Each structure stands twice: as structure tokens, then as C-alpha cells.
């Protein structure tokens, strides 16, 4: 993948979109107000979430490392530093989606450790949400030594590892290099720094 080649050519307003709604709302005082709200149109009917984010930690002798990705994102027209992530398919659990997406996007075969509550990306603007699935990657498995991602034709993903204890510094460095930073990674990194600072 050659960074920087991808770009937005043109942008047109979407007419009669079903992705943005005007909601008529009764507020806590009983006053009626209107509110604009966006949503993804891809959530399966039987699913309470749009997708999953995957926290995949490799426990190395030199310390734990987290699996990250570089991916071009049209809404930003930039390459974004993200956790492995993906939308859930019809009938799929968060855990199944996480194991499948991690394998497809990075090649790593993983076991699920824990699944988070549902979390909302930007609740004042849209209803998009996800669960974070924490997985362990057994580096003793041969599949995890010789990675074979199975990217779709329209996916362009570069996988890399960052030491968990320097994630915050790495976020700043990557931003300075011109990458956009996904909020999930930055907030995880901030949580790690808070725990260090207050010796939690």
C-alpha cells in the first residue's frame, strides 16, 4: 500500500438520506424540540451494536504490545491509526465478529478474554456504537508467526505493534507524522497514563 495516494475527489450532499434524521423530542421539562441525528444504515436488524473494536495484546518478554492498524478513511481523507475493528454481520455475536475481523484484517488467531459494555461513539450526534472485545494472541501458534490476513478488495490495512506502556507518546508521534488518531486508541492511552500517574 502506498500511503497518500488515496484521496477524496468530490463531495456531494446526499439527497433524501435515511442516514440523518430530524427527531422531534420532548425534553426533560416537557418542551418539544427538534434534533438532527445520524445513524449507520448497516446495523443488522437483530443486533444491538454496529460493530466491534478489538484490543489484541501480545505478551512479549520485553513487555505487552497492542495490535494497531493504518487505514485510509474517506470521511477524513486521511490515513487513520485505529484498533482492528469491524461491523457485525447478521446473526453474529460481538465475540464472533471480533475473532473473525482480527483474523481477516491482521491474520492473528485469538481467544476472547472479555467483552465491554456497549459504548456510544458520539451520543450528541449519532447513535453509532460498539463493544470492545479484549482478546489474547498466543504467539506459540504457528498461524500467529506466519500471518495471512484476508483483506477484502476495498480494504487497505497495514498492521503494526506498539508497546502498551508508550501508547500515549506513540499517539502524539503518529499525529506529528500526519496520521489521524482514532478516539478509542487515544482514550485507552489516556487511561493508561492516568493509572500510572495515580498509581492505581
Among 121, 136, 149, 159, binds a second copy (CB under 8 A): 121
Decide: helix, strand or coil at residue 132.
strand
* Cβ-based nearer residue to a second copy, 64 or 143: 64
Residue 133 interacts with a second copy (CB under 8 A)? no
Residue 13 interacts with a second copy (CB under 8 A)? yes
Residue 19 interacts with a second copy (CB under 8 A)? yes
Q: Are 83 and 167 in contact (CB under 8 A)?
A: no
Distance of closest approach, residue 142 Cβ to a second copy, in angstroms? 25
Residue 45 interacts with a second copy (CB under 8 A)? no
Residue 186 interacts with a second copy (CB under 8 A)? yes
- Find, among 159, 163, 147, 180, the residue nearest to 74 by Cα: 180
Rounded Cα–Cα distance for residues 4 and 77 (Å): 9
Residue 62 CA neighbour count, 13 Å, CB half:
7
Residue 101: burial class (beta carbons within 10 Å; 0-12, 13-18, 19+): buried
Mask for 142-161, x = binds a second copy (CB under 8 A): ------------x-x-----
Mask for 64-103, x = binds a second copy (CB under 8 A): x-------xxxxx---x-x--x------------------
Amino acid at each position: 500500500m502506498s500511503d497518500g495516494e488515496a484521496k477524496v475527489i468530490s463531495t456531494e450532499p446526499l439527497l433524501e438520506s435515511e442516514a440523518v434524521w430530524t427527531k422531534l423530542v420532548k425534553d426533560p421539562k416537557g418542551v418539544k424540540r427538534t434534533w438532527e441525528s445520524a445513524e449507520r444504515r448497516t446495523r443488522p436488524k437483530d443486533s444491538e451494536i454496529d460493530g466491534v473494536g478489538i484490543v489484541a495484546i501480545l505478551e512479549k518478554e520485553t513487555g505487552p504490545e497492542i495490535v494497531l492498524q493504518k487505514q485510509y478513511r474517506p470521511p477524513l481523507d486521511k490515513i487513520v491509526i485505529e484498533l482492528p475493528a469491524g461491523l457485525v454481520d447478521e446473526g453474529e455475536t460481538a465475540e464472533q465478529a471480533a475473532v473473525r475481523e482480527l483474523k481477516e484484517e491482521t491474520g492473528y488467531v485469538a481467544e476472547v478474554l472479555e467483552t465491554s459494555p456497549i459504548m456510544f461513539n458520539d451520543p450528541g450526534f449519532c447513535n453509532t456504537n460498539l463493544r470492545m472485545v479484549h482478546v489474547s494472541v498466543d504467539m506459540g501458534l504457528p498461524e500467529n508467526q506466519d500471518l495471512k490476513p484476508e483483506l477484502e478488495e476495498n480494504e487497505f490495512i497495514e498492521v503494526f505493534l506498539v508497546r502498551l506502556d508508550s501508547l500515549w507518546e506513540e499517539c502524539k508521534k503518529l499525529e506529528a507524522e500526519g496520521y489521524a488518531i482514532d478516539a478509542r486508541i487515544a482514550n485507552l492511552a489516556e487511561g493508561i497514563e492516568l493509572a500510572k500517574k495515580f498509581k492505581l
